[in-house]
Chains A and B, each alone.
Chain A
């Protein structure tokens, strides 16, 4: 049945299993071979070997060859575009909640549109548009948020009434709809043919394509890719690209040095029908009905309809089974609920005759985002996989980003949310993946509200205090596998259960976090911050200092015991990491970075630190429990526990000292809190964690101590205009753009990474500026809350997006942080953003289509800082992301 279906889906007869592929010219469609000739042998070496001939592999090959790389071999174990790419529904949709995903889809759409003209291969591209339906007000809000995003990118899009829906698509039953979003430029393609067109263009550019060749494993020497072993021999190569789709996980694990690519396949079903009596027009818009968990597109006069059920069927957990993929069973009973949703949406289809139920496995990732980038352990090993059922929409854009990454060293966009390095090895257990994807797949259709947490794969990494905190009412979220406290529910109080707590408005924890914030301001709170990434770098001589001085932008040659906030910048001056480094001794440093930097920062430093056995870097994250004591009374608690004076004269801000706390010795105390409030972070060897915690809580009682969570921390840092890496700061943001020139040693005449770029910015000015917005006419109780990604308007014109937001309990206003650009009114060209430009505008923030007036500020409210200890440096940094 699968074979028959292949013919149905693909409009052209592809003959290109042709070994003489490379010599084929523009008229390849007429070059048909009758008998299959013997395969030509593989080249002995190539610059790049791409594994996988689906949409991802061909897109990477296409873009690499366009960018001038020619020595490329693409290997496909079966036939080109014969896996998930062949079976997928071929919908290109830009209606994505996250702007990076949206940009990839937008680029793909533009690429596919001209592909037929470029290659001569029919791609079946039809601009049909798409309609996303809302059955509830909350769904409509989420659509309006997407619409705001699309509009500022110049992608046509409108929120329409149910009445208008019927005009666009006569079959839709609108009685249960509250509204819809129409994106007229969304398109349909024949996905297999798009992939073949990309392959055709790539082969014309010199890419060699070999079908029926499977990669058994990749060889790595000294941390670099050296070649691939295939069933047809070995190819030496510098770069390997794993585009093996649902097999990427296994391929990653096949070598001696495993590359962990956390994805897992699930069965995905869609239905094909015979044509209607009056065949449907091929221009009819695609329908997304997320509340019904289905999508519906026109297909050869009939329909194609699939969806994302609540009870997905993961498969291939125990590994590859090549036989199975072609013979996956149709499961009508499983599809039943989706069929009900389809007939509810289009009751007129009752009499339509079924052609087939297709079972097409798709791969899903632990966080619903795709996976791209370079392996942290094997240089030259790139990955592009895990498309979460949106491979066609992302294919073009993702392939382009990865090609840029390989050729230029980094893509033209910040792709950190998709970077393979956001995962650690811990997220690649088969059991974890199986459980997590069963949660992820249904989420495709679930309402995406601010601050939700995954429920599966939890309690993996925990602090030694986990049980103690849990017993005191802690509610948890997870970052990089680590459990962190959101807030503490006071005894006797109860919050809504998970499903009912989903809201775009004021959340139920509002007052709880408010009282934690108040306690931080007036007394003292403890937050367990053990999840932070901690490295120790030391050397026998001056190697550590010398290397770090080059790799970090701030001056680290400070007296022993000082703590320095510094960026870890790339060549363009952008933040690869934002961290605090304490100088423990002349020759050793202690570095604190955000939780999810564990893999990325390690790989970044490993790649750049000199290969010197006298220079040692160690990941000590697991060795220390970190307790953050925030508040004016933290100093009293600590001095009583240590019998040491902790006042500003003895222990100024940004200091680090080993001392005893209670009975425990060797506690590393730093006078930073990551919030701008006074206080200390205690780095405690884990075996003392419970002891120190108990001592602190006991002693703190008389000072009104209480537990607090990250939500309180977040509110505190945002109201003080602290940028966090990963949320506000990324590889495309420089210190000059976020008011942190004072953390850069430009004046000291020392060479450091990113220096040239920063000097140029200093000379010419910056093109975006980190700005704080205070919402003016926003009613916290009644209005939609900002989240992040909201468009910012200056004098009615779009200038950028917010990156984070929080309610400030002190200002009693919402605070949004974000970047302001200056686009030329006529050309759209980016112009320099001066402080005057910021200060002289009238601002509005767009939350789901509703605009709120906002006051812009380039500096924090000084009234929020209770005291300044060291004149020269205000603590203006923090790291964790929400």
Chain B
């Protein structure tokens, strides 16, 4: 059976979200015009998460995609918490003091982030108190540590990532008297998530990446064509430096067992991740936590299973690799996406498809016959092709949706094939995961005029 085009569209558009930055927010002109995001599940429920927020106490905007594994708990927690950790890391000492004093005296807190969320992107209400307390502990430590130096974005990002992962680990070890929360923190710690986060402030773009999601810049060349610039490195077996790093951190005796079948300890695809305490804790700690944990945890074969050749933990870290890029006028957009996209599409095609979508049909050159010899049939064919291209662009009001349509529906000729699209989207839940992964995409569009003026 086939899905009709409207049915296909309703599936593709179910999770799409767009945000346009107000042209002038009263403080400064933003280098970001806005962003489009979307996700298409393959797992049920989807294990990918996404976040976007504007920092209110410092300048800049945060955007991130999170790819969960072994459940969605860790990705969910990271998507809720990471930006707070980053924002706090970026705050100057006075602001931290101000916030702490406000909490202390029960006054209203300065808002730290303005979230840009799709209605389906939820925050866990039950854990908010717990999360807040951990965050507060973090900023109290920052206040105590007061280095007096201005905060470096790179450092802030690294600290925030590491701190959050640490807190996740700690919360699971300590547990919680509330049984629901207790189970939650354990699920978060025993599942894992990669993160790819962008911080944009004026022309300064920082990408902090942990795992195998990817950030890519769309660059328009002088001749109008599109090229891709990688702003992250995948942390997996294909990355020689990563393999090297892991090997360096463990005794030579483990060299052969460290990476097997392109996986960490023969099990895990990403070489860096949040959570995944099975790859971080000692065997004793794991056993103790599981035994004292709730029954559900004990019944779970996966959590009880200790990775083979597990000798010198930790094998895994959440520390991100940070890349700084000064935006140029030719840098038109940034794509953040989980590996579900990159498995199916080459980054060069992503750059072209998004570039053509964003610059729009109006840039399609008008046809002029001029002195050429053109027959009616040739012209008809040409127009039909142009129309098909236009209509596929017009169907989507969201660059991320447009990209997903191509990722899922592209045939061997690189054009969207409705039949294929329909097949891929109507796969039963249990089969979907075999043909495709969850896909989450954020496309950030830059304001070249603002960037050029810097």
Contact = CB atoms under 8 A, between A and B. Distances in A.
B368 A339 contact: no
B367 A332 contact: yes
Interface string A345-357: 0000111111111
Contacts of A273: 376
Contacts of B369: 330, 332, 354-357
B235 to A, nearest CB: 46
Contacts of A352: 375-376
B380 A354 contact: no
A329 interface: yes
Interface in B338-373: 364, 366-369, 373
A332 B377 contact: no
A333 interface: yes
Given A351-B375, A353-B374, A339 B380 contact: yes
Contacts of B170: none
A257 interface: no
Nearest to A352: B376
A350 B380 CA distance: 9
Given A330-B368, A333-B366, A333-B367, A353 B375 contact: yes
A60 interface: no
Interface residues of B, number: 18
Contacts of B390: 333
B427 interface: no
A591 B149 CA distance: 91
Nearest to B386: A333
Contacts of B379: 332, 339, 354
B377 A351 contact: yes
B383 A343 contact: no
A693 B173 CA distance: 79
Interface in A59-106: none
A340 B380 contact: yes
A357 to B, nearest CB: 7
A329 B370 CA distance: 12
Given A329-B366, A330-B369, A331-B366, A336 B376 contact: no
Which of A331, A340, A350 is the most central at the interface, judged by chain B CB atoms within 10 Å of its CB?
A350
A194 interface: no
Contact of B383 (A330, A336, A350, A351): A336
B304 interface: no
Contact of B376 (A330, A331, A354): A354
B377 A343 contact: yes
A354 B383 contact: no
B423 interface: no
Contacts of A356: 369
B384 interface: yes
Contacts of A357: 369
B31 to A, nearest CB: 34
B421 to A, nearest CB: 24
Contacts of A353: 373-376
Interface in A588-630: none
Nearest to B383: A336
Contacts of B382: 332
B376 A343 contact: yes
A333 B383 contact: yes
B433 interface: no
B426 to A, nearest CB: 31
A51 interface: no
Contacts of A343: 376-377, 380
A342 interface: yes
Nearest to B370: A1
Interface string B192-203: 000000000000
Nearest to A331: B366
B387 interface: yes
A335 B368 CA distance: 12
Interface in B378-408: 379-380, 382-384, 386-387, 390
Contacts of A332: 366-367, 369, 379, 382-383
A340 B382 CA distance: 12
Nearest to A339: B380
Nearest to B390: A333
A329 B368 CA distance: 9
Contacts of A355: 369
A229 to B, nearest CB: 40
B208 to A, nearest CB: 44
Given A356-B369, A357-B369, A333 B376 contact: no
A354 B375 contact: yes
Contacts of A333: 364, 366-367, 383, 386-387, 390
A331 B364 CA distance: 12
Nearest to A305: B376
A336 B387 contact: yes
Interface in A230-288: 271, 273
Contacts of A330: 366-369
A854 to B, nearest CB: 50
A350 B377 CA distance: 4
A343 B390 CA distance: 22
B137 to A, nearest CB: 62
Contacts of B380: 336, 339-340, 343, 350
Interface string A310-344: 00000000000000000001111101100110110
B366 A339 contact: no
Contacts of A335: 383
Which of B376, B377, B379, B387 is the most central at the interface, judged by chain A CB atoms within 10 Å of its CB?
B376
B424 to A, nearest CB: 30
B376 to A, nearest CB: 5
Contacts of B367: 330, 332-333
A444 to B, nearest CB: 22
A331 B373 CA distance: 17
17 contacts: A332-B366, A332-B382, A333-B366, A333-B386, A336-B387, A339-B379, A340-B380, A340-B384, A343-B377, A343-B380, A349-B376, A350-B376, A351-B375, A353-B376, A354-B369, A354-B375, A357-B369
The 8 closest A-B pairs by CB, nearest first: A350-B377, A336-B383, A332-B367, A354-B374, A351-B375, A352-B376, A349-B376, A354-B369
Given A333-B390, A339-B379, A356-B369, 10 more contacts: A271-B376, A332-B367, A333-B364, A336-B380, A336-B384, A336-B386, A339-B376, A340-B380, A343-B377, A350-B376
Interface of A: 271, 273, 329-333, 335-336, 339-340, 342-343, 349-357
Interface of B: 364, 366-369, 373-377, 379-380, 382-384, 386-387, 390
